[in-house]
Every structure is written in structure tokens, then in C-alpha cells.
Amino acid sequence: MSHWILVVDHQPRSRHLLREELERDFHVVAPESGRAARRLLEDMIFDLAIIDMRLPDVNVPEWLDDIGDHTAFFALADEGELVSASHILLDALHYGAERVFEKNVPAHYILDSVRAYFESDCFADRQACRKVPMRFVQKHAACV
């Protein structure tokens, strides 16, 4: 089974590098903005989202609160932010981040963490308890 990953990062270079690395093993969708990612989540269910905690076009904590029941996520912070802006780390952990990375971490480390996450009991337990958002059910009920 191949997993679906949503990569949301407002910096094109880091988004591109991460997408390329993850596409080795997974289906990856990498929209250019947080708003576009929110629209995608209305039509698709992802196994994991990797989200920049500083998206300029969405309120990230509010969004994470909304998706937390149905989509696991890894958080991304700019280089040095996990120390200098500790609220980024605290927000990520508060809203349930499975992992937190600075963007300067080599993409293959994130790929290794994604692989390990999908092989973990944590992922299996989350899948068993995942709540599909009602708006998704209502939107797609006519298709059944």
C-alpha cells in the first residue's frame, strides 16, 4: 500500500526538495499555498501532512486544530526557530505533531522518519481511530 502525503511549505525550494525526496516511496501532493492545501483536504484524505508552521496565508494553529482528528502531521520550522521562537515548537506539540523538524535538516532524514512513522504502531493506532471529517462525508455521499 502506498501512502499519500501532503507537503505544505510556502518556500518553493524546500517544498520542491522535500517533494522530490518523498516521491521515491510515496504519493506526494505539494500545493503552493496553505489555502490550496485546505481546498485539497476537502476532496482528499492524506495519511500524513508535512506542514510549515509559518504559512503566511492561513492561521496554522487553527488549521491544525481542524485537521488533527483525521490527518497526522509533521511540523516544519525555519532554521533556528525551534530555539529562538519556542512557541513554534509548543504549538506544533500542542496540536499533535508526530515529529518536528527544522527546514535545514536534510530531506532524507525526513524521508527516514516518514518511513518509520508508517511502520510504527502509532500510525496503525491512528488509522484505526481516524475520524473522517463530516464535510468530506457529506460532500462525497452522493458518489456512493
Query: Taking 80 as the threshold, does the pLDDT of residue 130 lie above it?
Result: no
pTM (2 decimals)?
Answer: 0.82
Q: In the chain, how many domains are there?
A: 1
Residue 103 has φ and ψ, to the nearest 5°, of -65, -20
Structural domain containing residue 66 = 4-143
CA dihedral 93, 94, 97, 103 (to 10 degrees): -50
Model confidence band, residue 144 (pLDDT cutoffs 50, 70, 90): very low
Is residue 40 within 8 Å of 67, Cβ to Cβ? no
- Which among 2, 59, 10, 62 has a CA at the least distance from the CA of 28? 2
Alpha helices by DSSP H, listed for 1-144, are 12-22, 34-43, 60-67, 81-84, 86-94, 107-119, 121-129, 134-140
- What CATH number does the domain containing 92 carry? 3.40.50.2300
The beta-carbon contacts of 78-85 under 8 Å, at least 24 apart in sequence, are 78/54, 78/102, 78/103, 79/103, 79/104, 81/53, 81/54
Is residue 71 within 8 Å of 102, Cβ to Cβ? no
pLDDT tens-digit readout, 58-84: 998 888 888 867 789 999 988 766 655
- Given the C-alpha cell 518556500, which residue does it identify? 11
Q: What is the mean pLDDT of residues 126-141?
A: 49
CA 75 from centroid of its chain's CA atoms: 7
pLDDT tens-digit readout, 14-70: 999 999 999 999 999 999 999 999 999 888 889 999 999 989 999 988 888 888 677
pLDDT tens-digit readout, 5-15: 999 999 999 99
